[in-house]
Amino acid sequence: MRILITAGPTREYLDDVRYLSNASSGRMGYAVAEAAAVAGHEVFLVSGPVALEPPQDCELLMVETTAEMCRICQAEFDRCDGVIAVAAVCDYKPRRRHEGKLTKTGEPISIEMIETDDVLAKLGQRKGDRFVVGFALEADNPREGALQKLRTKHCDAVVLNGPAAIGSDENSIELIDGSGAVVGAWDGPKNQLATHLIEWIEQRWSIATR
């Protein structure tokens, strides 16, 4: 099976030297990619900027912006059996990127922001018989936010976690299937959680890999 996996943050530039991003380390996405590769799957990993060694036996493509990640994922999705979207993409970008470097004027500035491409939603809309598993990092009303993501982005399952996961080697996750039921709940090192997730995907879609 060939699995598309996204990981890490994306960046959206205000000018040529400053950007918006988030504190995602990419550890969870890289752990999922490694677990899938160890299980015998062919992995295509699309990663934003991270300070991590790429997992072995994965085809890796580094990107920077959300638009780049969206373009690559849409191009590769047709060759994959499913996607696990772990990346914490930047949801907004400046309407206009300033050329050069913004200089201080001593006065407040206003920057108009617009939404970036919704990578997961675009893949979910055209999934066909491929599986789509998303990650939802939620702080307020987490279960409600995860269920909304499950429905609006056409996911088959969503992994719910919280802000404590950012930058940590450990995580606490709930796995919610397409019916909205919690079908798994695990705490521990991210590599162990990644293994649980890959095993569940194999069982859910009756995939023999070994």
> 16-29: per-residue pLDDT in tens?
999 999 999 999 99
pLDDT (0 to 100) of residue 45? 98
- CATH level 3 topology of 2-93+112-204: Rossmann fold (3.40.50)
Question: In the chain, where does DSSP find H-type helix?
Answer: 27-38, 66-77, 119-125, 142-152, 190-204
The b/e string for 108-139 (b: 16+ C-beta within 10 A; e otherwise) is eeeeeeeebbbbbbebbeeeeebbbbbbbbbe
pLDDT over 60 at 176, yes or no = yes
Sequence spans of domains, the chain:
2-93+112-204
pLDDT over 90 at 205, yes or no = no
Report the predicted TM-score, pTM, of the whole model to 2 decimal places: 0.94
Residue 107 to residue 94: CA distance in whole angstroms: 19
Active site residue: 22, 141, 161, 171, which one?
22
pLDDT over 60 at 164, yes or no = yes
pLDDT over 90 at 166, yes or no = no
Is 161 catalytic? The answer is: no
**β-pair partners for 106:** none
pLDDT (0 to 100) of residue 85? 98
Locate tokens 């949801």: which residue?
91
Q: Which of the 8 DSSP states describes residue 118?
A: -
Look over the chain and give the mean of its residue pLDDT values, rounded to a whole number.
94
Locate tokens 């990578």: which residue?
119
CB atoms within 10 A of CB 103: 7
The fraction of the chain above a pLDDT of 70, given in percent, is 98
